[in-house]
Amino acid sequence: MIILAYQDYEAAHAMNGVDVLTTLAIGRVSTYAEIGEHKAIVRLLNGIGQSKLRQHAIDALAASDKLELLLKKRTSNDAKERTVSRRRNLKREILSSLHRRGGGGDAGDAGDLDMALHHFNKTRLVANGLVRRAEEVLGSAGRADEGVSLRAARLLSEASSIFQSIGCVRRAATTIHRARELTMAAQ
């Protein structure tokens, strides 16, 4: 009901009604998150194009580890240009939300970010994330620990193969060189 009413008010340019329905929808998202109705959150998110609601819904889904429900779902079947615009905005909002959450260093948030980057075919960002994670691994324990060095080398090696697959030859070469140095130092 909220989605239909929102679309009617939006079509009539009745912004007071849109604001009231957005506030109501934000409350519904919180309630749905508490009771575990994640599919309803995805339906609300796709049906209502308001950015504040979308951010709240994306954060609720990410906090519940149900982001894959959103990534599987397509946006509503509006006019073609509107759908393309909504998909682009949704992609931007998902990635920005996950980047904000990923700043806390939680492994689950990093996994959600990797999943979203793979879903949106952002391979360069995936590879850069692997390099950053390798640097964090090295920075947290230092280079003295052999296991840490090998773990960082494995991350760098994976990043190098991704860089090579997308044509970033120079970046692939420097990354694999660092991985070899770490492997040699660990032995």
Nearest to 123 by CA among 94, 67, 175, 165: 165
Instruction: Give the chain's radius of gyration (CA, Å).
Output: 21
Q: Is 143 found in the same domain as 76?
A: no
Q: Is 135 found in the same domain as 89?
A: no
Indicate the average pLDDT of the chain.
Answer: 77
- Which comes out higher in pLDDT, residue 172 or 75? 172
Q: Is 157 found in the same domain as 93?
A: no
What is the DSSP track for 94-118?
Answer: HHHHHHHHHTT--HHHHHHHHHHHH
Domains: count for the chain: 2
Asked which of 90, 114, 138 is the last residue of a domain, the reply is: 114
- What is the extent of the structural domain holding 136? 122-186
Give CA–CA dist 95/86, Å, rounded.
14
Give CA–CA dist 109/112, Å, rounded.
5
Q: Is 36 found in the same domain as 65?
A: yes
Q: Is 158 found in the same domain as 76?
A: no
pLDDT tens for 82-92 read 566 767 777 78
Percent of the chain, pLDDT > 70?
81
pLDDT in the model for residue 21: 76
Q: Are 181 and 143 a contacting pair, CB within 8 Å?
A: no
What's the rounded mean pLDDT across residues 15-19?
75
CA distance to 16, 38, 127, per residue, from 26 (Å): 16, 14, 35
pLDDT tens for 129-153 read 888 888 888 887 655 677 888 888 8
Q: Is 175 found in the same domain as 104?
A: no
Asked which of 95, 114, 133 is the last residue of a domain, the reply is: 114
Q: Is 179 found in the same domain as 149?
A: yes
Asked which of 85, 114, 143 is the last residue of a domain, the reply is: 114
pLDDT tens for 40-72 read 878 777 777 666 777 778 888 877 777 777 777
Q: Is 100 found in the same domain as 66?
A: yes
- Which comes out higher in pLDDT, residue 110 or 55? 55
What's the rounded mean pLDDT across residues 97-104?
67
Give CA–CA dist 117/32, Å, rounded.
26
Q: Is 90 found in the same domain as 42?
A: yes
End-to-end Cα distance, the chain: 64
